Amino acid sequence: MSDDTNIPPVMWEKLDRTAGAAEVITAPSLTYWQDVRRRLWANKPAVVSIAFIILLILSAIFGPMLSPFSYYEQNLKLANIPPVFETYRVTDSTGAETRFFLNASNFNLYEVDNSGHIVGIIRGERKDMLKKSQAFQFGDKIVVLDYSSLPARLVAPDGAVLQPEGWQWNMTYLFGTDQLGRDVLVRQLYGARISLTVAFVATLVNFFIGIFYGGIAGYIGGKTDAVMMRIVEIISTIPLTLYVILLMVVLDSGLISIVVAIGSVFWVDMARMVRGQILMLKQQDYVAAARTMGAGTGRILTKHLLPNSIGPILVTLTMLIPSAIFIESFMSFIGLGVTPPMASWGTLTSEAVETLRAYPHQLFFPAAAISLTMFAFNFLGDGLRDALDPRMRK
């Protein structure tokens, strides 16, 4: 046995008997929503997704207002300008310099300043269709554009090939221009308005129709539930594309048709999910207690059942928003969405497919916007699912 006589007296001091010393709380007490917020902010992909979505919304609202160009303004002289280009410099005998770049897709020269702003198109002499060349006058110097073999090259009178100075970002059109000379960036931002508007409408419809429709069906049950769910099944069996085509027979093709189509059929998945949650929760004791105390159906649904289903509802909403954006883009891609000159990510993608080989940047930006937005909402949905589920607490 150990010898306790060697223990120093300082280790036998009495504990402090002040009030509350017996109950030492090692961590602050958090409410449910404080704990949800803490766990959500700890999820880095979800936080980045929230920042991206906020930035996208602000850009869609204020971006077209701040741009010097409109989404429908055309300038055929500056059509199919890339977002980045290689610049050349020619100096004549007087010391005057001209900085320009060659658009290798349409064999045009465009003058730019030192900061990368486009001054305008450079007019050359008459094209020699036999030799496949065109001469350009820069003061007292002549530069010949030779496109007899690809890639095209710029040749000086002495036969020397002009070498580019380096790459330069297009500071006039940051995302370049399309085949009609319209600014791709402002059309991209305007397309975000269309896509986010459709997503907002889908969210409102899901909230006000899907939640209450599924809640009423699940709480009342019986024949009411059977009839309401048969209606949901009938609606869900109609292909959305066929439904949009039928609507276009009645309504004109455009944003209204796609909004009505998505808004009238997109709530069925939410209704099914809410019905399942209500069927599970209505058997709880607090629902029976509320019913015993005289609470009506509306109060039980709005005060007890739906608030306790808010976690799965929020997760489902964030998952359905990218689906609505993708449906709108697909409908616009096949010509059933917004009509020109209005822009959406689907119409931008559809127009860019025709010139994919020559101008891939026109397809890259709307495709990247659709992909990043869907990733953002999916990551946010995953983060909300983990944060709202107490079983995921670590």
When pLDDT is cut at 50, 70 and 90, the band that residue 27 belongs to is low
- Please give the pLDDT value at position 54: 92
Domain boundary among 144, 169, 194: 169
The full DSSP string for 19-42 is TTTT---SS----HHHHHHHHHHT
Residue 220 scores a pLDDT above 70: yes
When pLDDT is cut at 50, 70 and 90, the band that residue 52 belongs to is very high
Q: Tens digit of pLDDT for each residue in 315-331?
A: 788 878 888 888 888 87
Give the highest mean pLDDT range of 2-6, 129-133, 374-378: 374-378
- Please give the pLDDT value at position 13: 64
Residue 248 scores a pLDDT above 80: no
pLDDT: which is higher, 115 or 331:
115
The answer to whether the CB of 321 falls within 8 A of the CB of 203 is: yes
pLDDT: which is higher, 337 or 211:
211
Calculate mean pLDDT across residues 287-297. Answer: 80
In a domain, 17, yes or no: no
In a domain, 353, yes or no: yes
Q: Quick one: tokens of 260?
A: 């009505």
When pLDDT is cut at 50, 70 and 90, the band that residue 12 belongs to is low
Same domain, residue pair 144 and 280:
no
DSSP state of 17: -
The answer to whether the CB of 90 falls within 8 A of the CB of 98 is: yes
Tell me the C-alpha distance between 324 and 188, whole Å. 18
Same domain, residue pair 136 and 273:
no
Same domain, residue pair 162 and 230:
no
Task: Give the CATH number of the domain where residue 219 resides.
Answer: 1.10.3720.10
Tell me the C-alpha distance between 1 and 253, whole Å. 93
Mean residue pLDDT across the chain = 81
In a domain, 54, yes or no: no
Q: Where are the alpha helices (DSSP H) in the chain?
A: 32-41, 44-66, 184-205, 211-220, 222-237, 240-250, 255-265, 268-281, 285-292, 297-300, 306-308, 310-333, 345-353, 361-388
In a domain, 37, yes or no: no
The answer to whether the CB of 380 falls within 8 A of the CB of 49 is: yes
Same domain, residue pair 211 and 316:
yes
Q: Quick one: tokens of 73?
A: 């303004």
CA distance to 35, 240, 303, 338, per residue, from 257 (Å): 42, 12, 36, 9
Same domain, residue pair 252 and 296:
yes
In a domain, 47, yes or no: no
- Please give the pLDDT value at position 186: 92
Same domain, residue pair 204 and 119:
no
Tell me the C-alpha distance between 73 and 67, whole Å. 12
Give the global pTM. Answer: 0.77
Calculate mean pLDDT across residues 205-223. Answer: 84
DSSP state of 53: H
Calculate mean pLDDT across residues 306-319. Answer: 79
Residue 20 scores a pLDDT above 60: no
When pLDDT is cut at 50, 70 and 90, the band that residue 47 belongs to is very high
Tell me the C-alpha distance between 206 and 210, whole Å. 5
When pLDDT is cut at 50, 70 and 90, the band that residue 55 belongs to is very high
Residue 157 scores a pLDDT above 80: no
- Please give the pLDDT value at position 48: 93
Same domain, residue pair 156 and 238:
no
Beta bridge partners of 142: 137
- Please give the pLDDT value at position 50: 92
CA distance to 136, 182, 199, 257, 345, per residue, from 193 (Å): 43, 17, 10, 16, 10
- From the centroid of its chain, how far is CA 130? 48
User: For the stretch 282-292, what's the b/e string if a residue is b when 16 or more beta carbons lie within 10 angstroms of its beta carbon?
Assistant: beeeebeebee
The answer to whether the CB of 185 falls within 8 A of the CB of 174 is: yes
Question: How many other C-beta atoms can be found within 10 angstroms of the C-beta atom of residue 305?
Answer: 23
Q: Among residues of the chain, what percentage have pLDDT more than 90?
A: 5
Calculate mean pLDDT across residues 70-96. Answer: 85
- Please give the pLDDT value at position 342: 79
Same domain, residue pair 129 and 209:
no
Same domain, residue pair 95 and 217:
no
Which region holds residue 45: left if phi is over 0, alpha if psi is between -120 and 50, else beta?
Answer: alpha
Q: Quick one: tokens of 111?
A: 């003058």
- Bridge-based pairing of strands 133-138 and 108-112 is unpaired
**Number of domains making up the chain:** 2
pLDDT: which is higher, 74 or 23:
74
Give the highest mean pLDDT range of 6-15, 147-156, 218-227, 260-269: 218-227
Residue 390 scores a pLDDT above 70: no
Residue 388 scores a pLDDT above 80: no
Residue 381 scores a pLDDT above 80: yes
In a domain, 153, yes or no: yes
| Domain hosting residue 97, numbered range | 84-169
Q: What angle do CA 288, 273, 299 make, to 5 degrees?
A: 35
